[in-house]
């Protein structure tokens, strides 16, 4: 009998690891995933737990890319009974099925009639309408049909008036705004958003209110109505319980409003908050690129130079190519190079709606030179500033230097009698400004802690278990005391010499 060659344990372990790598977990089919989501929505309505609905909505971004008319038709036919009116209404928004699909649907209807499938809750119908709406937005030919579907969905949603539908309603409002924007009718839907926002505010529907405020801000900014957008921000309060995605959009729109109003410091803060709250770069690359385009321009308008590593990010490297050329022109302080770069990439800047902001950078090219001079000299005449920066007159130099001092770009003062600028000394590490910054940081950390505590979920009736455990402990103590009093326990049972 021949001997069997035994493999070393290390080789066996490596082979098992390779087999485990090869066997990747397979994703469920879109039909199975939608049916599972419908079951979760039904569970959320029956148990009054909105977290199940939020779990469904978290998969919306990836699911809507995998659906088509066949998937939606199959899901609707399997989820609803044969003679359901809702089923026929939903199928009417989809293209007509081919012959093979119709035969298959008849088989599915026959099996469903035998099993007597119950009709899903109205929230599931609205969720399916949302998926159909995203499917219709894939082709420009169906934009008109998508507008009709969104209008009917909003009417049905308002007629039902169910609080369990609020999380899905927020997604519906965003989809409605996207539908009208792609259809070129964004201004027509603005009165509907205003009335819905007023209703959501009265009902304390924070999710819908946050989505509607962002939709209105996007509508105003799309048509360059920045004054109306600023009035909306001043007259409304953004819900503190909104999701990070809604907060990221809100801070992005606030940053765009503030930068147009020449309030660069607040614009920089809002855009920074939008970047921090935004989804990961690979998950939402479009939003990530749009925020960073304005962020780079605002930093340049504030007199700062963005970090070079920002332009090497894999998601931002190609999108920020033109802005990197502008940064180089501003950094060198060359007006000729700045004008050449501006004319070269004018089409892209106009498409990004940053052209008017970048035109303002001409003064900042000069401010950058002034900032360098303020760091190099403790006192310099306005005439020397004109010579070094190639300005036309000393009056222009005085105006630009005064504006830079007022905006906080440099520290110093202008002596009009002697015609020079005295540059301020570097600040120490102490003072009221430092304490204010430290106080703001402490407040931010405390607010973050309070929000985290409020967001925690606690199991129901957990305190009763603690009360029962405490009651059992007291009863055991009474029994032990009684046994000690009766003399049933000796020293060894009690604990020895202790």
pLDDT in tens, 378-424: 778 877 777 777 677 777 777 777 777 777 767 777 777 777 777 76
**Confidence at 498, pLDDT banded by 50, 70, 90:** very low
Angle, CA of 470, 475 and 478, to the nearest 5°: 130
One-character DSSP codes across 412-452: EEEETTTTEEEEPPPP-S-SHHHHHHHHHHHHHHHHHHHHH
pLDDT at 256: 93
**Confidence at 432, pLDDT banded by 50, 70, 90:** low
pLDDT at 104: 53
**Distance separating alpha carbons of residues 177 and 477, to the nearest angstrom:** 66
Element (H, E) at 468: helix 462-486
* pTM score of the predicted model: 0.72
One-character DSSP codes across 8-44: PHHHHHHHHHHHHHHSPPPPPPHHHHHHHHHHHHHHH
Q: Is 456 part of a structural domain of the chain?
A: no
Same domain for 34 and 166: yes
> In the chain, pLDDT over 70 holds for what percent of residues?
83
**Confidence at 252, pLDDT banded by 50, 70, 90:** very high
**Confidence at 254, pLDDT banded by 50, 70, 90:** very high
Q: Is 173 part of a structural domain of the chain?
A: yes
287-336 tens-digit pLDDT: 999 999 999 999 888 878 888 888 888 888 888 888 998 888 888 766 77
Average pLDDT over residues 225-254: 90
Residues recorded for the chain: 498
pLDDT at 396: 74
193 vs 471: which has the higher pLDDT? 193
> Based on the structure, what is the number of domains in the chain?
3
Task: Indicate which CATH number applies to the domain containing 386.
Answer: 1.10.10.10
pLDDT at 425: 55
The CB density around residue 442, as the number of other CB atoms within 10 Å, is 10
161 vs 212: which has the higher pLDDT? 212
Same domain for 141 and 46: yes
Contacts of 165 (CB under 8 A, 6+ apart): 122, 123, 126, 157
**Confidence at 158, pLDDT banded by 50, 70, 90:** confident
CB 37 within 8 A of CB 79: no
Mean residue pLDDT of the chain comes to 80
Q: Is 403 part of a structural domain of the chain?
A: yes
39-93 tens-digit pLDDT: 888 888 888 888 888 888 888 888 888 888 888 888 888 888 888 888 888 888 8
Same domain for 122 and 43: yes
Structure-token pair, residue 290: 């749009």
Same domain for 290 and 414: no
User: Which of 102-111, 231-240, 461-470 bottoms out in mean pLDDT, i.e. has the lowest?
Assistant: 102-111
Q: What are phi and psi of 432, to 5 degrees?
A: -65, -30
Structure-token pair, residue 456: 């925690």
Q: Is 203 part of a structural domain of the chain?
A: no
Boundary residue ending a domain (166, 184, 202): 184
Average pLDDT over residues 457-465: 66
Q: Is 283 part of a structural domain of the chain?
A: yes
**Confidence at 497, pLDDT banded by 50, 70, 90:** very low
* Torsion on CA atoms 210, 215, 217, 222, rounded to nearest 10: 160
Same domain for 371 and 321: no
Same domain for 387 and 329: no
Same domain for 338 and 405: no
Burial class (CB in 10 A: 0-12, 13-18, 19+), 42: middle
Same domain for 179 and 35: yes
Q: Which domain holds residue 278?
A: 243-353
Query: Cα 238 from chain centroid?
Result: 14
Residue 19 has pLDDT above 90, yes or no: no
């Amino acid at each position: 009998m021949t001997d069997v060659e035994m493999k070393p344990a290390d080789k066996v372990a490596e082979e098992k690891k390779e087999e485990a790598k090869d066997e990747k977990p397979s994703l469920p089919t879109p039909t199975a995933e939608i049916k599972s989501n419908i079951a979760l929505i039904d569970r959320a309505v029956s148990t009054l737990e909105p977290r199940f609905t939020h779990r469904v909505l978290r998969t919306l971004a990836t699911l809507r890319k995998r659906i088509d008319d066949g998937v939606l038709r199959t899901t609707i036919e399997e989820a609803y009974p044969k003679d359901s009116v809702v089923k026929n209404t939903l199928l009417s928004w989809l293209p007509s099925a081919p012959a093979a699909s119709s035969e298959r649907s008849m088989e599915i209807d026959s099996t469903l009639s035998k099993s007597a499938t119950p009709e899903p809750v109205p929230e599931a119908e609205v969720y399916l309408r949302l998926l159909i709406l995203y499917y219709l937005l894939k082709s420009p030919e169906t934009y008109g049909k998508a507008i009709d579907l969104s209008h009917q969905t909003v009417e049905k949603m308002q007629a039902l008036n169910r609080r369990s539908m609020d999380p899905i309603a927020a997604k519906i409002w965003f989809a409605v705004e996207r539908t009208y924007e792609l259809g070129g009718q964004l201004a027509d839907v603005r009165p509907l958003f205003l009335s819905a926002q007023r209703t959501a505010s009265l009902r304390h529907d924070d999710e819908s209110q946050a989505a509607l405020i962002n939709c209105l801000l996007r509508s105003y900014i799309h048509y360059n109505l920045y004054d109306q957008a600023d009035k909306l921000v001043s007259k409304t309060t953004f819900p503190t319980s909104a999701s990070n995605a809604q907060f990221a959009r809100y801070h992005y729109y606030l940053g765009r409003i503030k930068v147009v109003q020449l309030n660069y410091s607040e614009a920089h803060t809002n855009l920074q908050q939008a970047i921090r709250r935004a989804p990961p770069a690979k998950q939402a690359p479009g939003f990530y690129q749009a925020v960073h385009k304005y962020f780079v321009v605002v930093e340049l308008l504030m007199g700062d130079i963005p970090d070079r590593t920002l332009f090497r990010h894999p998601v931002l490297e190609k999108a920020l190519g033109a802005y990197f050329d502008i940064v180089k022109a501003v950094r060198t302080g060359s007006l000729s190079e700045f004008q050449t770069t501006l004319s070269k990439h004018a089409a892209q800047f106009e498409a990004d709606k940053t052209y008017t902001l970048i035109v303002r950078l001409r003064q900042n090219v000069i401010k950058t030179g002034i900032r360098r001079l303020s760091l190099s000299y403790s006192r310099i005449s306005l005439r020397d500033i004109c010579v070094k920066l190639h300005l036309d007159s000393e009056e222009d130099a005085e105006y630009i230097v005064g504006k830079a001092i007022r905006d906080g770009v440099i520290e110093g003062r202008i002596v009009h009698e002697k015609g020079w600028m005295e540059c301020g000394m570097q600040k120490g590490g102490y003072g009221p400004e430092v304490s204010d910054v430290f106080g703001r940081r402490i407040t931010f950390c405390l607010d973050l802690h309070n929000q985290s505590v409020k967001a925690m979920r606690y199991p129901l009736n957990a305190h009763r278990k603690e009360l029962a455990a405490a009651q059992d402990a007291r009863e055991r103590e009474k029994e032990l005391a009684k046994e000690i009093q009766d003399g049933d326990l000796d020293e060894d049972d009690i604990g020895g010499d202790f």
